[in-house]
């Protein structure tokens, strides 16, 4: 059996299903290009039948991909499979991925008997294989499926022509010993198992997704399904960076390898965090801000004497630079371009000019601009088609309330102004935005953290809004926390508008509209 493990990235499909993580068409193509460049074997680009936008994104990624297999997801019916094939067929290496829930709980949803489900699996995998040479079949909720039925369905899928058999732990229920044993037993007992690749797809509900995935590899799986930063529904999916680095660092006990270029991990982690609106927790393994930070005196002493004392991998292994170059107001364009390149941002001249102006503005407000500041600055370079833009904001706050906010917004090209009060400067600023652009969105999340140390540090703010089941997350950074908060709120609102217009008939924007302040 080969010691090569295929990396199947589903950031753009399963990862994007995380509430509020919806990406734009351009962002999906950008992330796919980065995955393709870093050596990911298979990119699950989306769920083509879900919407016209999903179809267009999968088709665009399929046409642009240079190296990776491009996969689309489909339910177990001919309509889904045909739509999936239409989206992926232009890829150099296309794949159809079809699935059905096999556990008792999932069988009850379509109300199928075991025999009816077995027949559907055979028909759908056969249909997919008649369209595409590379077909993956998944037994959703496999880890809670009766053994005899799971074995039966796997054998049916193999006989029908599936080339990859995926065994998902859909609800994060299993444990490492079970994960390994299940794969091992399927390979040993299923007829035709030696002719296919077995895959594992784990969720992190009990915090064991990475452990379960690696255990499945020990059991014989040779494809790991994962996402950047572990992005995904509920507690997320297996994190790509964790399994890839675990295989690299512990090759002594796990003699397997992937072809992922680990030096590109940090750049794509930051990019996915930005476009998804889901910041990486500070203590996140591999890519968290504190992953290579040492504060304990004992740890620092050990690091100074020998880095291997408390570091099992080098920062450069995942794309971090050895030194954190501090830049300031005297730094030029060449230095900025070089530093951004090290951080994974390759900019055209016009893009650099725009960022350079904002870099100088930031440098005038801060004595020192660190790498983290530049990453936060680049987040401001991400633009949805903004209907709302902040032109100016003035707040009055203190111990004597109520606090007030005077705001000027540009809405659909027209400047509007308002003055409102609230319970604190942020609340008053948010009220001012709503006074000019009325909406029914509910604030689900408001989160602030400092990018660097010091009283002049930039604050990075995340805001999540929900309206009628649609969720959007916005981010922004500024040395003024209230300004950062207001920009993040507006960013989320702009994204919510885009989502609403894409899903509403005839681009109906009922429920979200701006008020003329003079009315």
Q: Indicate the annotated binding residues.
A: 14, 201, 203, 237
Question: What would the two tokens of residue 115 be?
Answer: 């025999």
User: What are the C-alpha distances in Å from 73 to residues 13, 66, 201, 269?
Assistant: 8, 20, 14, 23
Residues constituting the chain: 519
Rounded distance between C-alpha atoms, residue 133 and residue 111, angstroms: 31
Residues in Cβ contact with 242 at an 8 Å cutoff, skipping those fewer than 6 apart = 210, 230, 285, 286
Rounded distance between C-alpha atoms, residue 482 and residue 478, angstroms: 8
Cβ-count burial 55-94 (b if 16+ within 10 Å, e if not): bbbbbbbbeebeebbbbbbbbbbeebbbbbbbbbbebebb
Cα-to-chain-centroid distance, residue 220: 28
Counting beta carbons within 10 angstroms of the beta carbon of residue 480, is it exposed (0 to 12), middle (13 to 18) or buried (19 or more)?
Answer: middle
Question: What would the two tokens of residue 320 be?
Answer: 């971090």
Residues in Cβ contact with 223 at an 8 Å cutoff, skipping those fewer than 6 apart = 5, 6, 7, 8, 41, 42, 164, 166, 197, 198, 199, 200
Rounded distance between C-alpha atoms, residue 87 and residue 149, angstroms: 32
User: What are the C-alpha distances in Å from 164 to residues 15, 192, 197, 223?
Assistant: 21, 12, 5, 9
β-partners of residue 69 are: 42
Rounded to 5°, the CA angle 16-289-209 comes to 45
Contact 48, 87 (CB under 8 A): yes
Q: What string of DSSP letters covers 48-117?
A: GGG-HHHHHHHHHHHHH-SSSEEEEEEESSHHHHHHHHHHHTTSSSEEEEEEEE-SHHHHTTTT--HHHH
Contact 144, 108 (CB under 8 A): no
Contact 441, 458 (CB under 8 A): no
Rounded distance between C-alpha atoms, residue 71 and residue 388, angstroms: 36
Counting beta carbons within 10 angstroms of the beta carbon of residue 329, is it exposed (0 to 12), middle (13 to 18) or buried (19 or more)?
Answer: middle
Name the nearest CA neighbour of 425 among 382, 381, 468, 393.
393
* Residues in binding site for Mn(2+): 14, 201, 203, 237
Contact 69, 290 (CB under 8 A): no
Question: What would the two tokens of residue 72 be?
Answer: 């689309």
Return the number of other C-beta atoms located less than 10 Å from residue 271's C-beta.
21
User: What are the C-alpha distances in Å from 490 to residues 191, 379, 443?
Assistant: 57, 14, 12
């Amino acid at each position: 059996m080969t010691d090569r493990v295929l990396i199947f990235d589903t950031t753009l499909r399963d990862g994007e299903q995380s509430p509020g993580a919806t990406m734009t068409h351009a962002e999906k193509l950008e992330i796919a290009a980065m995955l393709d460049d870093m050596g990911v074997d298979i990119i699950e680009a989306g769920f083509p039948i879900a919407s016209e936008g999903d179809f267009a994104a999968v088709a665009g990624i399929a046409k642009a991909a240079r190296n990776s297999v491009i996969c689309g997801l489909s339910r177990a019916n001919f309509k889904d499979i045909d739509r999936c094939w239409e989206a992926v067929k232009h890829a150099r290496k296309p794949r159809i991925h079809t699935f059905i829930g096999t556990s008792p709980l999932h069988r009850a949803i379509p109300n199928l008997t075991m025999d009816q489900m077995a027949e559907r699996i055979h028909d759908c995998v056969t249909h997919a294989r008649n369209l595409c040479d590379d077909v993956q079949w998944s037994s959703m909720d496999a880890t809670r499926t009766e053994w005899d039925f799971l074995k039966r369905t796997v054998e049916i899928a193999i006989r029908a022509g599936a080339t990859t058999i995926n065994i998902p732990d859909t609800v994060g229920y299993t444990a490492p010993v079970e994960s390994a044993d299940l794969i091992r037993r399927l390979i040993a007992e299923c007829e035709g198992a030696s002719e296919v690749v077995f895959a594992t797809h784990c969720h992190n509900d009990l915090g064991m997704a990475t452990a379960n995935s690696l255990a499945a590899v020990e059991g014989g799986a040779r494809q790991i399904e994962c996402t950047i930063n572990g992005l995904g529904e509920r507690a997320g999916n297996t994190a790509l960076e964790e399994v890839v680095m675990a295989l690299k660092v512990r090759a002594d006990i796990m003699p397997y390898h992937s072809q992922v270029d680990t030096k590109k991990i940090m750049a794509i982690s930051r990019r996915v965090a930005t476009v998804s609106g889901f910041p990486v927790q500070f203590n996140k393994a591999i890519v968290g801000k504190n992953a290579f930070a040492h504060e304990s005196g004992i740890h620092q002493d050990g690091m100074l004497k020998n880095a291997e004392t408390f570091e099992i991998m080098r920062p450069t292994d995942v794309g971090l630079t050895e030194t954190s170059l501090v830049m300031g107001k005297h730094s030029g364009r060449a230095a900025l371009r070089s530093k951004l390149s090290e951080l994974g941002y390759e900019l055209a001249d016009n893009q650099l000019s725009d960022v350079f102006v904002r870099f100088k503005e930031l440098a005038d407000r801060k004595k020192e601009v660190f790498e983290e500041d530049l990453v936060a600055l680049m987040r401001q370079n991400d633009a949805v088609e903004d209907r709302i833009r902040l032109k100016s904001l003035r707040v009055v706050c203190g111990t004597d309330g109520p606090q007030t906010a005077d705001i000027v917004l540009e809405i659909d090209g027209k400047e509007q102004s308002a003055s409102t009060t609230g319970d604190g400067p942020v609340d008053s600023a948010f009220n001012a935005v709503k006074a000019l652009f009325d909406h029914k969105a509910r604030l689900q999340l408001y989160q602030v953290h400092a990018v660097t140390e010091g009283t002049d540090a930039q604050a990075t703010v995340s805001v999540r809004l929900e309206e009628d089941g649609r969720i959007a997350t916005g981010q922004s950074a500024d040395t003024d926390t209230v300004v950062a908060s207001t920009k993040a709120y507006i960013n989320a609102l702009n994204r919510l508008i885009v989502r609403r217009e894409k899903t509403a008939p005839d681009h109906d924007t009922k429920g979200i509209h701006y008020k003329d302040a003079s009315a």
